Amino acid sequence: MSYLLLKDLFKRHGECMNTAVSVAGWVRTLRVSKNLGFIELNDGSFFSGVQIVFQDTLSNFEAVSKLGTGSAIAVTGTVVASPGKEQSFEIAATAIEIVGACDSDYPLQKKRHSFEYLRTIAHLRPRSNTFSAVFRVRSLLAHAIHSFFQDRGFVYVHTPIITGSDCEGAGEMFRVTTLDPKSPPLTEEGKVDFSKDFFGKETNLTVSGQLAVENFCMAFRDVYTFGPTFRAENSNTTRHASEFWMIEPEIAFAGIEEDMRLAEDMTKFIIRFVLERAPEEMKFFNAMIDKGLLERLEQVASSDFGRVTYTDAIDLLKKSGKTFDYPIEWGSDLQTEHERYLTEEVFKKPVFVIDYPKEIKAFYMRQNDDGKTVAAMDMLVPGIGELIGGSQREERHDRLLRRIEELGLKKEDYWWYLDIRRFGGCPHAGFGLGFERAVMYLTGMTNIRDVQPFPRTPKNAEF
């Protein structure tokens, strides 16, 4: 049993004209009158479906006429020119096999459903136009990211999902344990005795692969991680999920300049990659989800990104004469409204903001000579604000140690991270990109729950 994929039929329908084909897929809509009917069939290989025309000469015309949306069928027929306005060709069926009937309470209708409702039927929503497009683009984007880094010789590092390090410092973690929650073994002080736990110590799901990947960077030079990360934060927003994927490249013998060039090149590459390989899906998003999407992406892919220091950015915002909901002051972090103003109004293209005050950035970022700022960079893009955050890392052992102590962190927790500064340390830099945020940026979708196949958010792990 072998069926022609609709992807291939659409690619070469000219040469298929007037030949016999067999296709298999799911009924999207069905319209029937006394002696003939029309089925829109989608087989998942292509965004568009093909129209099947069937006559009452079919042996099972009655049964086929009663099929509901969602049914799985296999069709044999002839590719013919279509007299209809909405398609240039169609398949005149000679036989239709009902592979899997669909109960009449199938929840997906021909009309538009709310995204909110579709989230409650996450097992069925990939059959809808929007989610079909979203998840094909998500898949392509993952491919694009691997292609970009692999083509440049980066080594893909699988950093651990379960981590014994409680110092990743990026947020609340999910504990991993096999201890009995009702009566865990206790120490003499009455605390939970994790030495009796599976790993002999407290373990959690990772919140970031960065610290681990820095170690491999000191061996392979250019590396990246791309995998799931977990945050047990009770945040209920359109941009946060408890489980999400992150891309974290790290480059050795390189500083913040090389880091920005890498971020810019990667951004342009993945945009072009997806525009080339999913033109139907991208046109759909531009028409149905976000009217300015294609124009914005084309512009980003073809412009040279701007550069501005945090200090200059603050001046630009102050001089803008625009009133913001949040005050602008040196030392406080840029709000989304500030970021968007900079990239959309001032620069009118993506822009890197560099050299942030050290107080508002992470301990591992390289301290600048002014004693006030660190070599951090945020890449701001029109439409959403910050898309990428990165930095040159502090490679000087004494400086890093002092910063750890200043912030009251426990240096014992960082022994291996500090070690790589003693054993052949060198300047290095990297950045982090939330994969879902990249999917949202490329599709125009505005809720992270709608770009993950089965999203995990506070109080929700149904599927």
Would you tell me which residues interact with RNA (CB under 7 A)?
29, 31-36, 38, 51, 53, 66, 68-69, 82-87, 90, 92, 104-105, 107, 109-114, 116-117, 119, 170-171, 208, 231, 233-242, 244, 246, 326, 333, 335-336, 386, 388-389, 432-434, 436-437, 446-449, 459-460
d(CA 249, CA 213): 8
Closest to RNA by CB, 172 or 298: 172
> What is the closest distance, in whole angstroms, from the C-beta atom of residue 31 to RNA in the complex?
4
> What is the closest distance, in whole angstroms, from the C-beta atom of residue 459 to RNA in the complex?
5
> What is the closest distance, in whole angstroms, from the C-beta atom of residue 196 to RNA in the complex?
30
From the CB of residue 195, how many other CB atoms can be counted at a distance below 10 Å? Answer: 11
d(CA 235, CA 460): 12
Q: Which residue type sits at 165?
A: S
Taking the alpha carbons of 277, 82, 99, 107 in that order, is the dihedral positive or negative?
positive
> What is the closest distance, in whole angstroms, from the C-beta atom of residue 44 to RNA in the complex?
19
Closest to RNA by CB, 30 or 197: 30
d(CA 202, CA 223): 28
Closest to RNA by CB, 51 or 130: 51
Using alpha carbons only, how large is the chain's radius of gyration in Å? 27
> What is the closest distance, in whole angstroms, from the C-beta atom of residue 186 to RNA in the complex?
27
Question: What SS3 class is residue 157?
Answer: coil
Closest to RNA by CB, 249 or 434: 434
> What is the closest distance, in whole angstroms, from the C-beta atom of residue 40 to RNA in the complex?
7
CA dihedral 132, 224, 209, 387 (to 10 degrees): -60
| 267: Cα separation from own chain's centroid | 13
> What is the closest distance, in whole angstroms, from the C-beta atom of residue 144 to RNA in the complex?
17
From the CB of residue 302, how many other CB atoms can be counted at a distance below 10 Å? Answer: 11
Closest to RNA by CB, 235 or 302: 235
- CB of 216 within 8 A of CB of 228? no
Closest to RNA by CB, 11 or 110: 110
> What is the closest distance, in whole angstroms, from the C-beta atom of residue 205 to RNA in the complex?
12
* Residue 374 DSSP one-character state: E
Closest to RNA by CB, 101 or 179: 101
From the CB of residue 325, how many other CB atoms can be counted at a distance below 10 Å? Answer: 8
* Residue 358 DSSP one-character state: G
Closest to RNA by CB, 113 or 283: 113
Residue 105 burial class via C-beta count within 10 angstroms: exposed 0-12, middle 13-18, buried 19 and up? exposed
